[in-house]
Copies of this chain bind each other. A is one copy, B any other.
Amino acid sequence: MWSKIVIIGAGGVAESLLYNLARHQLHPIAIYNRTRDKALALANRYSPSTDVVDQLAKIPLDADGYLFALSDSAIPEVASMMPSTGGTWMHTSATVSLETLTHYHSQSAIFYPLNTFSSHIAVKLEGTPLFYETKSDDALCYLLSLAKTLAVRPITSTLELRRKMHVAAVFSCNFVNHLLTKASFLMEKEGLPFDLLMPLVEETIRKAFAEAPASVQTGPARRGDLITIERHRKELQEMAPDFIPLYDLLSSSILKQYHSSSSLSHE
């Protein structure tokens, strides 16, 4: 697919978009960011032919697609300051409405890839669900052809659905990562490298998706083994007493799901 694309933003989402576009021989014609150096670093890394601009008034007006890879709060502000352009405007947020763009430019769409992005980390997007929404046929066709080029998995959705799914994403990404942070603290406290947990965690994830997580739950709370739970609480009292509320609530939640009659004795 030949397409003139402009990237707006230079954070983690912009970085992964640039990386994936470049992997498919699509080099954006320009990247805009308020801080020029950040955009320049991304262009140098992934697409040296891409122009770097730090004023919205100077972005190319004749691109086919404008990808707003911005924080939720920046999208309305940047949309309001955009010059009048052709092509399709798309933003990548789960939780910002389509109207935030169509208010200024009717050929607009939501282009939300369900994944986790950080600066300095390029995520391969192949197979990632792409939740989209648009009221413009031209925007729809452009978006679907871009999705095909990037080998993502397009799924039409409403704002309401994306917002609800976003909560599931927080449980399975942000909260899972936080539990790994706690586990890594406990390992390092005992002088053990965190990566000893890698085979365990990878098998946990593989099994949860190969079967269903509820059906492969293991551990003392799943077994209703209150003796081991009590011993773990004593270990935590020594190792990291501030982890006990998390340990208790998660154990109780598992006990409730699988042993409706059991509960932690100190509750």
Q: How far is the CA of A175 from the CA of B200 in the complex (A)?
A: 12
Question: Distance in Å from the Cβ of A174 to the closest Cβ of chain B?
Answer: 3
Q: Knowing A116-B204, A192-B165, A196-B155, say if A179 contacts B181 (CB, 8 Å).
A: no
Inside 8 A of A201's CB, which chain B residues have their CB? 172-173, 176, 205, 209
Q: How far is the CA of A116 from the CA of B203 in the complex (A)?
A: 7
What does DSSP make chain A's interface, helix, strand, loop or mixed?
helix
A172 lies within 8 A of B180 (CB): yes
Number of copies: 2
> Does A166 sit at the interface, judged by CB under 8 A?
yes
Task: Determine, out of A26-34, A36-44, A48-56, A248-256, the stretch whose residues face the partner at the interface.
Answer: A248-256
Q: How far is the CA of A8 from the CA of B219 in the complex (A)?
A: 21
B246 lies within 8 A of A250 (CB): yes
Interface residue count on the A side (C-beta < 8 Å): 85
A170 lies within 8 A of B116 (CB): no
Contact partner of A205 among B127, B205, B211, CB < 8 A? B205
Which residues in window 52-85 of A have CB below 8 A to B?
A: 72
Q: How far is the CA of A202 from the CA of B206 in the complex (A)?
A: 9
Which residues in window 216-234 of A have CB below 8 A to B?
A: 216-222, 228, 231-232
Inside 8 A of A196's CB, which chain B residues have their CB? 114, 129, 153, 155, 165
B178 lies within 8 A of A217 (CB): yes
Complex A-B, nearest 7 residue pairs according to Cβ-Cβ distance, in ascending order: A174-B219, A172-B183, A168-B186, A180-B213, A171-B183, A181-B213, A168-B183
